[in-house]
Amino acid sequence: MRDILSRIHQKKQRLDTFQSLSNEISKNLDEWFRIELTYTSNAIEGNTLSRIETALVVEKGITVEGKSIKEHLEAVNHAKAYQFIQTLTDKTKTSITERTILDIHSLILQNIDTVNAGRYRTIPVRIAGSTAIMPNAIKVPDLMSEFIKWLHHKKEGIVKIAADAHFKLVSIHPFTDGNGRTARLLMNLILMQAGYPPAIIRKEDRRTYINSIEKGQLSGDLSEYYPVVFSAVERSLDIFLSTLEEKKGKPEFLKKKLMTIGKLAKESNETVSTIRYWTKEGLLKPSQISKGGYQLYNPDTIKIIKKIRKLQKEKRLTIQELKQVMGKDHPLY
């Protein structure tokens, strides 16, 4: 555990050497993290929207066929909740309070469960598939008051505090639903107020993540939980650093001659949401999917994008018509 915390500390110091992000880089990173956090956090809770579908719902308000209204609302709500904690990240002197947590939860369940949104539970709850016993609902207000006091007086490193805050909140389980998503957003609020990027618990780590929390709740042993969270923090630092260092001529993806969706959007002068939409519709094809599930594109995709725009401007073709035209002469197909 010391090794990974040491690496995190060193990478945070490197990140701090970059005085400020350009508006363009900041916007691209923000957009990526907003979608990725929304997708992964909801997926952990069973939401079946894919990464691309999540982006289409959040960025374009598109309804995805075959998906429930609740799943659509979960995507929209989480994106709003993330934007809310962003408004608090520059206010490092603003203490996190019970009201902060209630406001996050209220956004998570907005239009899904208006009765319980932003309110502590008054009934017993159980975690599906777990033998861990959650506190009696009567104790929740006092436990939350104690939790906030603990948070304000904790003196350990911020990464460990954020991880502990997440674990403590899900173990109190103060709400009827939305506890995990609220806890992950609280963890990221703590990290972001300290200048860290938000940590993303990946969908593929879901079982390890859930099992490690249950083990901690049953035995007090967090030895499997901390590595999951710390690795998430380190990955996000790596994403920020690789993006910033790319400007210095050290792009990892350029070494592979492939482009991230953010890089492709920048080079083609399109928005990330447009690239995602065209990919969803089959007009564009990623050349590779990374182990983390990220789409990587051949630089020649820029030519295809320019051709799409030209056809739209000159012939006013629909998406279906574009598919027919592009299918006949598509350099990546």
One-letter amino acid of 54: T
Is pLDDT larger for residue 313 or for residue 237? 237
DSSP tag of 121: -
61 alpha-carbon distance from chain centroid: 18
For the 2-246 domain, the top CATH level (class) is mainly alpha
pLDDT at 292: 66
In order of 69, 89, 319, 323, 324, the CA distances from 282 in angstroms are 25, 38, 9, 7, 11
65-90: average pLDDT: 95
Whether the pLDDT of residue 300 is over 50: the answer is yes
d(CA 319, CA 333): 17
**Amino acid letter, 33:** F
The CATH number of the structural domain formed by 252-328 is: 1.10.1660.10
Per-residue pLDDT of 38-54, as tens digits, reads 999 999 999 999 999 99
Instruction: Give the pLDDT score at 21.
Output: 65
Question: Is 173 in the active site?
Answer: yes
The model's pTM is: 0.76
Report, as an integer, the average pLDDT of 305-329.
79
Q: pLDDT for 95-117, tens place per residue?
A: 899 999 999 999 999 999 999 99
209/231 Cα distance (integer angstroms): 11
Residue 256 vs residue 174, higher pLDDT: 174
How far lies 309's CA from each of 41, 158, 191, 297, 305, in Å? Answer: 34, 47, 40, 18, 6
| Pair 40, 203: CB distance under 8 Å | yes
Q: Which residues lie below 8 Å from residue 122, measured CB to CB, with a gap of 6+?
A: 137
Q: Which pLDDT score, from 0 to 100, does residue 290 have?
A: 72
| Residue 253: per-residue pLDDT | 42
93 falls in which pLDDT band (50, 70, 90)? low
| 136/327 Cα distance (integer angstroms) | 60
Q: Which helix (H) or strand (E) holds 166?
A: helix 158-172
> Could you tell me the residue ranges of all domains in the chain?
2-246, 252-328
224 pLDDT above the threshold of 50: yes
Q: What is the mean pLDDT of the chain?
A: 89
Structure tokens at 208: 């390890």
- Range of weakest confidence among 2-11, 134-143, 258-267: 258-267
- The neighbour count for residue 251, using CB atoms within 10 Å, is 17
Q: What are phi and psi of 132, to 5 degrees?
A: -65, 140
- Residue 104 has a CB neighbour count (10 Å cut-off) of 24
Q: Same topology for domains 2-246 and 252-328, yes or no?
A: no
Catalytic-labelled residue, pool 153, 166, 173, 330: 173
